[in-house]
Amino acid sequence: MNIDLKDKTLDELEQLVVELGQRKYLAKYIFQFIHTQNVSDIEEITPLSKAFRQKLTEEGYFISEIEILEKQVDKDKTAKYLFKLGDGERIESVLLHDGKRKTLCVSTQAGCNMNCAFCATGKLKFKRNLSAGEIADQVNTVEADSGKISNVVYMGMGEPLLNYEAVMKSVEILNHEEGKNIGIRHITISTCGIIPKIEMLANEKLRPRLAISLNAPENALRSQIMPINNKYPLDKLIKTIKNYQEQTNQRVTFEYVMIKGLNDSHKHAQMLIKLVRNISCNVNLIEYNPNSECDYKGSNSTVIKEFASILSEAGIETVIRFRMGREINAACGQLGADWLKKLKE
């Protein structure tokens, strides 16, 4: 039985409240106090009667809470949060500033088993999936510390679609108008390409934006740096994305990490154009972020700009994402790098 109130949607809370002999509307107070006031003690939900609060506690219900162990801030204002979960596992979240917009990159797993060659997180052992409450609580906790979060991207530690149910449940929690009320168009799920789950996502009523971590335009190279490609090769992945668009009519983002001498030539750009030109999409070129656990170097800015120009001239909307949070190991592919270094010392 799930006894963490933070891990429940409003519908689930309504069902619980009724089962405990109370009026359905009381569930809204529980949901609001948890997700708008960041309450972690049932006793603080004062619209509930003292007797009902006591009954919830006696039945074993509680409100989980993640703990900030460390906060680092880069000179570009990027902030990295190290969290301790209830069982002692650790995760990281990254807060990005873009004008008035604040985007939080959340983790969905403790560790990751995708083992992408360019990613420090993939070098950490997979420990477990996070609950929906633990995912949503990253937003609650960072918002309490740094102000209103406008966008959420599921691009932190772990592969979101391998924790599908909890991820989609957290999306519902974060999107709900009685809680954080983050618009669904301001929530993005990034995946390395878990085809069966992309197919499931296409059928969801509540559907966030979809981003595909691509990083190579042909199978041999992609399999070299992303082992998941051996299970879900590019031809099947692209077909799935096209089917996804036919069902949803939503644009897809392709993320492409630029690695020096590996995937950044003019030939790779032309191959990428051929791969995605019949898909409604935009391409994010991400400057590779070096870390001590991965033996790669990032493409220089001239190469990245030339690559972007080739794509743009072919009619593909392209954005260059230069490094943010690099000095605190908060950039794409660097989460967990600090721990790996300490483990080896």
Q: Please say whether the beta carbons of 160 and 200 come within 8 A.
A: no
Per-residue buried b or exposed e for 117-136, using 16+ beta carbons within 10 Å of the residue's own CB: bbbbbbbbebbebbbbbbbb
Q: Which amino acid is at 333?
A: G
| Active-site annotation holder among 14, 65, 92, 293 | 92
Distance separating alpha carbons of residues 133 and 167, to the nearest angstrom:
10
Tokens of 293: 């656990």
**92 is an active site residue:** yes
**44 is an active site residue:** no
Among candidate residues 159, 271, 161, the one with its CA nearest the CA of residue 215: 271
| Active-site annotation holder among 112, 116, 281, 332 | 332
Helix and strand totals (H; E) in the chain: 11, 12
Which residues make Cβ contacts (< 8 Å) with residue 34, sequence separation at least 6? 5, 6, 40, 63, 140, 179
Residue numbers annotated as active site: 92, 332
